[in-house]
């Protein structure tokens, strides 16, 4: 029997699974202010420090002067501006696709894409650790969702080869958001055996971060864009703002504009956000030193932790995850870090599988090595104080 809402809330608290939002009173950045206290943040996805970049902010301000704040309507009515159009063109060119369409968020993009291209009983094959929005998208689409073990191509093969479904979508995160691991994109491409099979990659955490030019997981792995039918990215991560984009061939994108309900029935993102994203794209392209600093920081952090017993997952990305296991212990660690002025969030089920609660540390190009040292020392101290002598 379903217990009452208040009972359920009590249970969540007892299980260490209760969640709370905490209002920041500062811009997003390496240092953030909560309740009047300044923290060193290791939990935002603002990997290149663009969320409060003065040029990105200025671009948004100018667009507000010229286009106002509200977009006024959905893209198909009158909410689509020349700034949106020009951003789409620049993204297509940068990432090597024929065409691009913007969405208000990555969550909405994923719902729109999967539901547009799946049929009611079509197979939607997904990595078990795909982002929640991709899982929800399959449910919303009404397709036959099948999940393979994380990056396990043989398992994926078994499922797709035994499927009689007419439409088959292979869907994966490029970089897994809670692990930092990279999808086996080339092998996923090789699973396609019919003309109508589609490979869809959500590279929210790869674009801007990986590859010589910041083109993401495909560039990092040297995979031709022709192998990935649909590539999805967001502005909420390395671009430092908000919104999302979908790339594909002319017909693919044209079809999406006709069919994606999460594009058709929602207000267009404000033109100012398109202006901000255009400026961020400019910086992603023209300031590779940000990416270099980020990767130097990643290596520095991993080396410092390599001599400890902490279970750091394998990752060359900005997402560095330490598996703790139990909810309460993870929360406790997060609180103790907070006491030392460090913001590292405890990620718990249902965001991640049961008994894999974790500290998800995200690094930025803007962290100094001294700031990373601070985190490393705190982690070492906590490790020593929690491992009881045996
Ligand atoms: C963050 C994220 C999303 C959602 O994007 P929003 O723009 O925040 O809605 C989708 N997919 C992945 C892999 C993500 O990490």
Q: Whole-number mean pLDDT of the chain? A: 95
Query: What average pLDDT does range 98-116 have in this prediction?
Result: 98
Query: Is 2 a residue whose pLDDT tops 70?
Result: no
Ranges of beta strands (E only) in 132-177 are 144-148, 168-173
| Averaged pLDDT, 81-94 | 98
Q: What would the pLDDT profile of 319-378 be if each residue is shown by its tens digit?
A: 999 999 999 999 999 999 999 999 999 999 989 999 999 999 999 999 999 999 999 999
Are both 19-48+288-385 and 54-286 of the same fold? no
Q: Which of 181, 201, 236 to mutate to test the pocket of ligand 1 (most atoms within 8 A of CB)?
A: 236
Q: What is the pTM of this model?
A: 0.96
Q: Is 133 in the pocket of ligand 1 (CB under 6 A)?
A: yes
In terms of Cα–Cα distance, which of 222, 179, 196, 233 is closest to 347?
179
d(CA 118, ligand 1 centre) in Å: 20
Q: Is the pLDDT of residue 7 over 50?
A: yes
Classify domain 19-48+288-385 by CATH number: 3.90.1150.10
Q: Which of 363, 345, 366, 343 is nearest to 50 (CA)?
A: 366
Would the pLDDT of 388 be above 50? Answer: no
Task: State mean pLDDT over 126-130.
Answer: 97
198 lines ligand 1 (CB under 6 A): no
Q: CA torsion, points 8, 10, 14, 18, in degrees to nearest 10?
A: 80
- The first and second tokens of residue 251, run together, are 């017909």
Ligand 1 proximity of 202 Cβ (cutoff 6 Å):
yes
Q: Tell me, in angstroms, the distance from the centre of ligand 1 to residue 137's CA.
A: 12
Domain extents in the chain: 19-48+288-385, 54-286
What is the 139 CA–ligand 1 centroid distance (Å)?
Answer: 17
Output the residue whose Cα is nearest ligand 1's atom 3. 106
Tell me: the pLDDT tens digits for 285-308? Answer: 999 999 999 999 999 999 999 988
**CB contact burial 110-149 (16+ within 10 A = b; e otherwise):** bbbbbbbbbbeebbbbbbebbbebbbebbebbebbbbbbe
Beta strand extents in the chain (DSSP E only): 31-34, 37-41, 99-103, 123-127, 144-148, 168-173, 198-202, 230-234, 244-248, 319-325, 342-343, 345-347, 357-362
User: So what's the pLDDT on residue 1?
Assistant: 56
Q: Is the CB of 236 within 6 Å of ligand 1?
A: yes
Atom of ligand 1 nearest to the CA of 174: 13
Percent of the chain with pLDDT over 70: 98
pLDDT tier, 274 (very low <50, low <70, confident <90, very high otherwise): very high
Q: What is the mean pLDDT of residues 309-316?
A: 94
pLDDT recorded at residue 308: 86
Q: Is the CB of 240 under 6 A from ligand 1?
A: no
For tokens 């398992």, what's the residue?
155
Q: What is the pLDDT of residues 209-253, one digit of tens each?
A: 999 999 999 999 999 999 999 999 999 999 999 999 999 999 999
Question: Within 10 A of 4 (CB to CB), how many other CB atoms are there?
Answer: 8
User: What is the separation, in whole angstroms, between the first and last Cα of the chain?
Assistant: 44
Residue 119: pLDDT band (50, 70, 90) is confident
234 touches ligand 1 (CB under 6 Å): yes
Residue 390 confidence (pLDDT) = 37
For the Cβ of 204 lying below 6 angstroms from any atom of ligand 1, the answer is yes
The per-residue pLDDT for range 20-73, each reduced to its tens digit, is 999 999 999 999 999 999 999 999 999 999 999 999 999 999 999 999 999 999
Whether the CB of 172 sits within 6 Å of ligand 1:
no
Per-residue pLDDT reduced to its tens digit, 177-196: 999 999 999 999 999 999 99
232 within ligand 1 shell (Cβ under 6 A):
no
54-286 is a CATH 3.40.50.150 domain: no
Q: Is 81 in the pocket of ligand 1 (CB under 6 A)?
A: no
């Amino acid at each position: 029997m379903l217990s009452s809402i208040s009972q359920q809330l009590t249970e969540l608290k007892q299980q260490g699974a209760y969640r709370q939002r905490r209002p920041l009173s500062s811009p997003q950045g390496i240092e953030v202010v909560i309740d009047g206290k300044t923290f060193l943040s290791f939990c935002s996805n603002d990997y290149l420090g663009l969320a409060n970049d003065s040029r990105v902010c200025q671009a948004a301000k100018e667009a507000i002067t010229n286009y106002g704040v509200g977009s006024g309507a959905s893209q198909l009515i009158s909410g689509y501006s020349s700034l949106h159009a020009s951003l789409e063109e620049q993204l297509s060119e940068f990432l090597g696709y024929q065409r691009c369409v913007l969405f208000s968020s990555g969550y909405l993009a994923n719902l729109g894409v999967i539901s547009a291209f799946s049929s009611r009983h079509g197979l939607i094959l997904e990595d078990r650790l795909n982002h929640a929005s991709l899982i929800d998208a399959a449910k919303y689409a009404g397709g036959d969702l099948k999940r393979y073990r994380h990056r396990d191509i043989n398992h994926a093969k078994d499922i797709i080869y035994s499927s009689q479904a007419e439409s088959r979508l292979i869907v994966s995160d490029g970089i897994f958001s809670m692990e930092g691991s990279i999808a086996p994109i080339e092998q996923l491409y090789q699973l396609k055996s019919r003309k109508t099979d589609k490979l869809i990659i959500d590279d929210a955490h790869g674009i801007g971060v990986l590859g010589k030019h910041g083109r993401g997981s495909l560039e990092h792995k040297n995979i031709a864009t022709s192998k990935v039918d649909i590539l999805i990215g967001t502005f909420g991560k390395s671009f430092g703002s908000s919104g999302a984009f979908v790339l594909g061939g002319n017909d693919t994108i044209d079809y999406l504009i006709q069919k994606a309900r999460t594009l058709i029935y929602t207000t267009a993102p404000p033109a100012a956000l398109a202006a901000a994203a255009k400026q961020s794209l400019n910086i992603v392209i023209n300031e590779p030193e940000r990416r270099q600093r980020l990767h130097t920081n990643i290596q520095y952090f991993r080396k410092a932790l390599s001599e400890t017993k902490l279970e750091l997952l394998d990752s060359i990305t900005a997402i560095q995850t330490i598996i703790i296991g139990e909810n309460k212990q993870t929360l406790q660690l997060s609180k103790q870090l907070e006491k030392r002025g460090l913001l590292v969030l405890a990620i718990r089920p249902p965001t991640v599988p049961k008994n894999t609660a974790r500290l998800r540390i995200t690094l930025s190009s803007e962290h100094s090595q001294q700031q990373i040292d601070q985190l490393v020392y705190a982690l070492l101290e906590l490790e020593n104080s929690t491992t009881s002598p045996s």
